[in-house]
Amino acid sequence: MGCTAGGSQPSDFCKSVASLDSAVAQINQNYLSKSTVPAVEKSMATLGTTVKNLSETAESEFADEVKAVEAAATRLDKTVTAAVDRPVPANMEAARTSMRDLTSAVQDLSKSTSETC
């Protein structure tokens, strides 16, 4: 059972975890400010796709970790939208906090899947 079932090829779920790690790393390269909004919006679109893929390929043993990533991604989307619409310090800080939360959730998922992926 798990990500290596059926041979040495990584499962779709493992591929989704790897893509998510990459998407989060990309977002973390763009510190949210007025000048980086276009880059952040592009990264958010990529993140949305990777979270959707993760959700569709999720394995039941990692349901809690996947739900945490989904919730953190939803919060990040809302806070980034608020920061883009109204780039005041409070909104920018809320988006940064959401990014840290998502990064933690993704790291937790990666740790949980490290033995099976």
* pLDDT tens for the chain, residues 1 to 117: 444 444 567 899 999 999 999 999 988 887 777 788 788 888 899 999 999 999 999 999 999 999 999 999 999 999 999 998 998 999 989 999 999 999 999 999 999 999 989
The reported pLDDT for the residue numbered 26 is: 86
Q: Would you say 57 and 69 are in contact if contact means Cβ atoms under 8 Å apart?
A: no
Residue 1 lies in a domain: no
**Count of domains forming the chain:** 1
Residue 40 lies in a domain: yes
Q: The whole model's pTM is what?
A: 0.86
**Domain at 91, CATH number:** 1.20.120.230
Residue 4 lies in a domain: no
The reported pLDDT for the residue numbered 112 is: 95
Residue 28 lies in a domain: yes
The reported pLDDT for the residue numbered 2 is: 47
Residue 68 lies in a domain: yes
Residues of the domain holding 59: 12-113
